[in-house]
Amino acid sequence: MGPRPHVVIVGAGFGGIGAAHALRRADVDVTLVDANNYHLFQPLLYQVAIAGLDADDIAYPVRAIIRTPRRRRRGAPGNVAFRLGRVSAIEPGNRQIIFADGGTLVYDHLVLAAGAVTNTFGVPGADTNALGMKTLRDALAIRSALLRRFEQAAADVAAGRPLVTGSLRVAIVGGGPTGVELAGGLQELIVRVLRRDFPTLPFDEAGITLIEATDRVLGTFTPRLTTKAARMLERMGVELALGTGVAGIDPGAVVLADGRRIEAGSIIWAAGIKAGPLAAASGLPLGRGGRIAVDEHLQVPGHPEIFVVGDVAATLDGNGNGGVLPQVAQVAIQGGRYAGRAIAATVAAPTGPPPAPFRYKDKGSMATIGRHAAVSQFPNGLSLSGPIGWAAWLGLHLVYLIGFRNRLNVLVNWTWNYVTYDHASRLIDGDM
């Protein structure tokens, strides 16, 4: 009897972990590959940026996720192994992936779940003068940059030096869920916490400006909910700059298309994402948005051994108009599970019928704005806002976190923040 088929999964995000779990009982050997040794729970990434959570509260070691459960261990390893490394290219003809260090890995089946990176849309200065919001390092950089600004301002006031115009302000570009959650969270940090930490600073000069090119925030939500979200933000003190795009970003200022200039000591780009660089380097056909084209089974046309899921895939929305699904967590989770089950079925019955086409089940959208403030909408028409929406958001994110320790830590931190009006993780990371 020959060796078992080898399945390689590139990416330990939601899609990759979903595929690995679906293959745990299959008669295959799986290698999960990622450039980081942890799975990142990106929906709570902004909480690290606002000093509400620690980095390891939302990151969980990959090896701890894939190891054989204790009840089934019996001294034998599971069928999923982990390989730390950055994949730089794919050779479909040779059925192998190539690592940045020159190493290779051969596969019988491949699942690409390589994720996305920040998309600045070519706006001048965005790459150099704004902070992204996609990785753990990005979130830590935002937190440290903001805290450094306040520490420097306190030192300037103590020395009798004038403050730089806008140095205590934060400009956030992008009014989607990430931008809205950041704006609300940072505003609460400034008003409820930093005001007490820095009593000598002029807080009438501190605050958040949220910039969105369209005429409303949370554009994928219903107009009623977006109006509520905007009102919640404005009640908190967040300034909204809607209906005008960004022409460029200078050091310390955002230049709008209408000529306005918004001075800010910290500038955060949360306006969009795009498929990671592996999509273009794969040599596979690309679809909309530079994502890898896939058929209704999430397979690459001409390469049925390759599945592509999540942010890197141009997954058809099934409406027959060529539209693709959004780059959100649920698309990746469901796509990864589907790919894993499809490979397992193929290995178990090579001559059997193909699996049913992938069908995405929309489970709704949520965005939290601050204490007792959130909006949620569901496919059945139900919508929630205010304290009820906020409680639903809290519960859902706790459920989807990986690892009991992380769930407990997040619950404890959220409880502490709620009771004390404090953000305990306000540490500056890195050298001054």
Query: Can 181 be counted among the known catalytic residues?
Result: yes
Distance of CA 215 to the CA centre of its chain: 24
426 vs 44: CA distance, rounded Å: 16
The single-letter DSSP state of residue 7 is E
Cβ contacts of 353 within 8 Å, gap of 6 or more: none
Per the CB < 8 A criterion, the answer to whether 123 and 211 are in contact is: no
What is the spatial distance between Cα 293 and Cα 118, in angstroms, rounded to a whole number?
Answer: 20
- Polymer length of the chain: 432
Element (H, E) at 85: none
- 346 SS3 class: helix
| Catalytic residue selected from 91, 151, 181, 263 | 181
Reference 329, options 42, 85, 77, 135; nearest CA is 42
Of 79, 77, 71, which Cα lies nearest the Cα of 22? 79
Half-sphere CA count of 267, side-chain side, radius 13 A: 24
Residue 182's SS3 state is helix
3-state secondary structure of 419: helix
Give 262's strand partners.
254
Of 9, 232, 208, 205, nearest to 107 by C-alpha is 9
- Position 293, amino acid: A
CA–CA separation, 432 vs 428, rounded Å? Answer: 8
Active centre residues (catalytic)? 181
